[in-house]
A and B are shown apart, each in its own frame.
Chain A
């Protein structure tokens, strides 16, 4: 199944009884506080424009109250937008009638929830096939698919347990299996791992990355954790107070944060895991020296290769294996410890 990207265009969400009336005022600069004070309406999202690439993971990051959960619910329209469009495969989801929307939800999207939202009276396998039940697929067929995905998320042997008998991490595996069994192109993950403890969270991130490498779904992942965003996101969008503050790859955000708010976030990040070799390498000097490192290798991985080989220099190669630059320990260490400074942002801009 070919994936399609999702285009969010000029999306506004204002909560309140007369929300439509205030869109124009908000567009002309009425602030969230003013809107609440003068009109008693709450600004949820303001002029959101995001292009979510097909077959990639788009992470929407923000703190609580930033509107990220509201945003993801616009993609399958669990929340009605006040204004704007969500385009998938040439169709505006916000313009669908009830029936078309139901079909869209059944066949094109699957969702994983922060608090799992499993059906407590159904066993693990019955939960997994829930989406297929809704589609009207017979149990003989759906159970086979459900079983396959339960095994893929590592829950073999728990098919007949009830959700309450499982730990949080295992419950979220059921949530993931339920979404994957639906075999939908779009996978919506609403703070899917936020309720899990750190080790299990990293575990589940790995599960997602492994599956994604094979499935190439269009994933929208919501999180408040920048490390998680950087690890998972092909593209990261940062929301604050219902507005997009910055969009770009993990590197873009770490190396050139758009404002102080993001700078403060980025300060705590392990930069070695984000910055890639090609970003900080020096131009190739003609001498293929030391270890050979792929252009998109992170500095941490590169450092590991070099340390193991006992080398202080490395040659960066592109996909074809042609040397394109060189890297030395000095440069790498500088990039890993330097906070977002002028030099780094210049390099990212190139």
Chain B
């Protein structure tokens, strides 16, 4: 301990010394060329305060709208969470296995799911896993409901694509911790703000892949649809959506995976379940506990992934048998 303490002090000293020093070349240059001429601290502080106050004022002013927005989400999330956690584990497991089986039509994936879920229960994480499943389910559904129409709009109009693409770029490159901040400022701390953060993080692949899937639809098939007098709606539902479905399914798969990743980060604003356990493990250096929760997340990630992929493959059955 003491040795490390020494090391740290030395390093800090060195840093402090370096900060004061500048390269020899600076003696011949104007000051602004060497040290970045930042705005003055007081100016920045003032600007920050104005923005923050404005933001808070806005939130206070329109609090009722925000609450009205939150309410249905809160209700839906609570309902599902209660359903998952209060139902007997046997019922939940059987329903889950049925969903997995009829989605994937694969005995292997179903058996794998059973083993994974039983192990999770065995180490005492059943209830937390149910909480996490509930929030991932809700966030995925919301991401689909939001992402699908936006993706369709993007595919139809170059202008919409031009506007949305940079927004998605920002959403995807912004570190996930950063947009927890506005979410917390606007919606406060709790499950629903966490859910919103998860949706924001998870929706871009849904939008992008819906857009991509529709744009990749064979131009000749579209021309045929036109030649038979299809309206825009008929083209969308008869041709574009069915042919884009495999790509859209890949988008849903990605959305689920990103929700699972974000659930852990969202535990910082009050989302329960496996994420919160992981956060506790980090804070308290509970090595084994942290990894058990991590593995539980991995297990449900694999279950979701394999099931949704197998389902996606089944949707493409018509393209599998190719005449030689």
> A residues near B, CB below 8 A?
76, 78, 102-107, 109-111, 113, 115, 117-121, 130-131, 133-135, 162-167, 182, 188
Contact of B223 among A102, A106, A113, A182 (CB under 8 A): A113
Closest to A164 in B: B322
Known: A117-B220, A120-B243, A165-B321. A134 touches B228 (CB 8 A): yes
**CA of A107 to CA of B319, assembled, Å:** 31
Is B8 part of the contact surface with A, judged by Cβ < 8 Å? no
Task: Kindly provide the distance from the CB of B233 to the nearest chain A CB, expressed in whole angstroms.
Answer: 11
Known: A164-B319, A165-B323. A131 touches B228 (CB 8 A): yes
Chain A neighbourhood of B225, CB < 8 A: 134
Chain B neighbourhood of A78, CB < 8 A: 223, 226-227
Contact of B224 among A102, A117, A165, A166 (CB under 8 A): A117
Q: List 22 A-B contacts (CB under 8 A).
A: A78-B226, A102-B231, A103-B229, A106-B229, A110-B227, A111-B228, A113-B224, A117-B221, A118-B221, A119-B221, A119-B238, A120-B243, A120-B319, A121-B243, A130-B228, A130-B238, A133-B238, A134-B230, A163-B318, A165-B322, A166-B323, A167-B323
Is B92 part of the contact surface with A, judged by Cβ < 8 Å? no
**CA of A130 to CA of B225, assembled, Å:** 9
Task: Kindly provide the distance from the CB of B246 to the nearest chain A CB, expressed in whole angstroms.
Answer: 10
Known: A131-B228, A133-B238. A162 touches B220 (CB 8 A): no
Max chain A Cβ within 10 angstroms of own Cβ: one of B224, B225, B226, B231 = B224
Chain A neighbourhood of B320, CB < 8 A: 164
Question: Which of chain B's residues 230-279 have a Cβ closer than 8 Å to chain A?
Answer: 230-231, 234, 238-239, 242-243
Main secondary structure of the interface of A (DSSP, over half): mixed
Closest to A105 in B: B229
Main secondary structure of the interface of B (DSSP, over half): helix
Chain B neighbourhood of A103, CB < 8 A: 229
Chain A neighbourhood of B223, CB < 8 A: 78, 113, 117
Chain B neighbourhood of A119, CB < 8 A: 221, 224, 238-239, 242-243
Beta-carbon contact of A102 and B229 below 8 Å? yes
Closest to A171 in B: B323
Task: Kindly provide the distance from the CB of B279 to the nearest chain A CB, expressed in whole angstroms.
Answer: 45
Beta-carbon contact of A182 and B224 below 8 Å? no
**CA of A188 to CA of B228, assembled, Å:** 11
Top 4 A-B pairs, shortest CB-CB distance: A106-B229, A105-B229, A117-B224, A162-B318
Is B53 part of the contact surface with A, judged by Cβ < 8 Å? no
Task: Kindly provide the distance from the CB of A332 to the nearest chain B CB, expressed in whole angstroms.
Answer: 44
Max chain B Cβ within 10 angstroms of own Cβ: one of A118, A119, A182 = A119
Is B67 part of the contact surface with A, judged by Cβ < 8 Å? no
Known: A103-B229, A119-B239, A164-B323. A134 touches B234 (CB 8 A): yes
Is B52 part of the contact surface with A, judged by Cβ < 8 Å? no
**CA of A115 to CA of B221, assembled, Å:** 9
Is B13 part of the contact surface with A, judged by Cβ < 8 Å? no
Chain A neighbourhood of B238, CB < 8 A: 119, 130, 133-134
Task: Kindly provide the distance from the CB of B241 to the nearest chain A CB, expressed in whole angstroms.
Answer: 10
**CA of A164 to CA of B323, assembled, Å:** 6
Task: Kindly provide the distance from the CB of A56 to the nearest chain B CB, expressed in whole angstroms.
Answer: 21
Closest to B241 in A: A121
**CA of A164 to CA of B319, assembled, Å:** 6
**CA of A153 to CA of B232, assembled, Å:** 30
Task: Kindly provide the distance from the CB of A195 to the nearest chain B CB, expressed in whole angstroms.
Answer: 12
Known: A105-B229, A110-B228. A121 touches B221 (CB 8 A): no
Beta-carbon contact of B229 and A115 below 8 Å? no
**CA of A182 to CA of B230, assembled, Å:** 13
Chain B neighbourhood of A135, CB < 8 A: 229
Closest to A104 in B: B229
Known: A121-B318, A162-B318, A164-B322. A182 touches B221 (CB 8 A): no
Question: Which of chain B's residues 268-324 have a Cβ closer than 8 Å to chain A?
Answer: 318-323
